[in-house]
Copies of this chain bind each other. A is one copy, B any other.
Amino acid sequence: MLFEMLYRRLLILTEGSLGIFESKTGSSVMRYRPQDCVAVLDSVNAGKPLGDFIPGLPDLPIVASVADTLPLQPDALLIGIAPTGGGLPDRMRRHLLDALKAGLSIISGLHVMLRDDPELAELAEANNAKLHDVRDAGQIRHIARGRARYTRAKRVLTIGIDCDVGKMVTALELRKEAVRQGLNAAFVATGQTGIMIEGWGIAIDHVISDFTAGATELLVEHVADKDMCFVEGQGSIEHPGYSAVTLGLLHGSCPDAMVIVCRPDRLLHNDWPDCPVAPIRQQIAINEALLAPLHPGKVVAVAVNTARMTAEDAEAAVRKIAGDAGLPAADPVRHGCKDLIAAIRRQVGI
């Protein structure tokens, strides 16, 4: 459960997948731990400015090979992607071998466990390097029974109209604003990237299905004594593939307040042509209805992801969504979280 991030000179592997969404894991680690990253490893894009791919990050060099990064004295290679299904792409393998030979440890958020790969395990052993499978939650066998309702901490869950819309970023930005306002607030990481950023958590999507809500309940109880905790949501309640994880998080955390994250251009789940995203009001209603028998939590605000829009389009989109949802709305990154936190504090009464 607890992964302690001891590394302070990270090499971010993106190999041909560099981009805000393509290498979501690596991009987020660079955004939230900029002081701990030394370079991006991507032979396809080596030498180009990182800002061409992802705006707003520190100006790290993009390099072609592990050998090129050794002068920067990296201490670990972090696999910067988390593809659907969670396997290791073949094109990345040689970089892992090179890194291990150079004595670097590897941090992975893949579903596939690196330690089960005999070649990697042997090389790690031989070179005194470690393989960190962050997604491995260990042997969790706890069935949830609604205990999250009894924490002192007020619980806030980010939910989303789809996967990959910004639920983790929203939870991190909300926590930042809550702390700024003097609250003792925690971020509860439920996915590999959040764990890499925060240093602890459980990748809920890798837990055995029966214990999805149970693992969430354990996480929330871990920060029970705080004023408030912001639980990172996963997937979406009507997503054809990931909804099970989403509902486990809802019933496992029993949120007092929810913030729904929206990307205005997301009309189809995963952009699959036959899987339409339902209207936001309907999604709000269904999340609240599923929770109601257990706990009277409400959706209190919308976080709008306008990362790919002009300022003008973003303003218009936020206004429209606020109207559609009948709730306060803002882009947590572009506009900050003051209005969202205000809505949460009204709901939870602190």
Contact = CB atoms under 8 A, between A and B. Distances in A.
Copies in the assembly, this chain: 2
Contacts of A242: 143, 210, 213
Contacts of A143: 84-85, 241-242
A141 interface: yes
Interface residues of A, number: 50
Nearest to A216: B244
A55 interface: no
A210 B214 contact: no
The 7 closest A-B pairs by CB, nearest first: A244-B248, A212-B244, A205-B210, A143-B241, A146-B240, A278-B293, A244-B244
Contacts of A67: none
Given A85-B141, A247-B247, 10 more contacts: A111-B141, A111-B210, A145-B270, A205-B208, A209-B209, A209-B212, A238-B290, A244-B247, A244-B251, A275-B293
Nearest to A87: B141
A207 interface: yes
Contact of A274 (B144, B146, B245): B146
Interface string A143-170: 1111001000000000000000000000
Interface string A228-239: 000000000111
Given A85-B143, A240-B294, A286-B286, A210 B245 contact: yes
A238 to B, nearest CB: 5
A208 B206 contact: yes
Contacts of A205: 208-210
A145 B209 contact: no
A88 interface: no
A289 interface: yes
Nearest to A286: B289
A29 interface: no
A105 B171 CA distance: 50
Given A145-B270, A270-B145, A213 B238 contact: no
A107 to B, nearest CB: 19
B238 A243 contact: no
A51 interface: no
Interface in A99-140: 111
A292 B279 CA distance: 12
A204 B244 CA distance: 11
